[in-house]
Structure 1
Amino acid sequence: MRIRCRSEIAALALICLAACKPGEKAAAPLEPVGEAKMALEQAACEKRGGAWILAESGTRLCATRTRDGGKACHTKSDCAGACLARSMTCAPMIPLTGCNEIVTSAGLRVTECVQ
């Protein structure tokens, strides 16, 4: 019985060793967080032609100009961004910050707040 136990342990050890693959790549580096991530996001934003802005809430975000800013609209589906309810024109940038009255794709006038 003792021999059988040792052989089972030896077989288990061989199986464990066989699972190890020499030359296997190390784990991928961790994603950046905090200031490092913000710096990467800011660089990507500016590379796309956006502006890194500070929203009213203190959050930083990427604002980009829309291709149809100022064009007349009836619903959101007429615009790349929002359809502004007061002027019935497409918003000049994405995202709009603060509270703005917009027209939805269904034609409803709503107040949208982005802090």
Structure 2
Amino acid sequence: MGVFARLNMVALAAIVALAACVPSDDTSQTQDYGLAGYNPAAAAQAEQSCLARGGQYAVGGIAGLKVCFERPKDAGKSCSKSTDCDSQCLARSKSCAPVTPLFGCNAILDSSGREVTLCVD
């Protein structure tokens, strides 16, 4: 067998081998992006979920990531300790926080009614 015939056979074998690497059109399989747990649609899904709950999807915190800001059911309600609120009990106004999450450093009342500073970034 000549050199060119051998090269043709090697090329043909390579083509057959590469053809086996083509993904199938079976949509029942989940797409693998190479990173465990990575979902490129996660941000859009999180935003849709947030808006459906009546929240506002916006940038928050030092990292500048988008988060869902929501108004708690008890926003503005009078409180004397953290357990009086679904969110945080603000120390200065003694009222439940108007938004969650509450970024920055805030004086809040803990579960015993003591004033503490909570910093969330």
> Hey, what's the Cα distance between the residues in 2 that align with 1:56 and 1:80?
21
Q: Structure 1 stretches (4+) deviating beyond 4 angstroms?
A: 26-32
RMSD in angstroms over aligned alpha carbons?
A: 2.1
> Hey, what's the Cα distance between the residues in 1 that align with 2:104 and 2:59?
11
Deviation per CA, 1:60-104: give whole Å up to 9, x if none.
111110111111100011111100001111111111111111111
The 1:103–1:112 alpha-carbon spacing in structure 2 relative to 1, beyond 3 Å, is: same
1:89 aligns with 2:99: no
AA aligned opposite 1:56: G
- Counterpart of 1:18? none
AA aligned opposite 1:53: A
Identity across aligned pairs (percent)? 39
1:54 aligns with 2:78: no
The 1:32–1:43 alpha-carbon spacing in structure 2 relative to 1, beyond 3 Å, is: farther
> SS of the residue aligned with 2:50?
helix
> SS of the residue aligned with 2:80?
coil
1:29 shift after superposition: 4.5
> SS of the residue aligned with 2:46?
helix
AA aligned opposite 2:53: R
| TM-score, structure 2 as length reference | 0.65
Aligned residues: 90
Aligned to 1:100, which of 66, 85, 106? 106
> Hey, what's the Cα distance between the residues in 2 that align with 1:113 and 1:41?
24
Structure number having the greater helix percentage? 1
AA aligned opposite 1:113: C
For residues 1-115 of structure 1, the aligned pairs below 5 Å read 27-29=29-31, 33-34=39-40, 36-57=41-62, 58-115=64-121
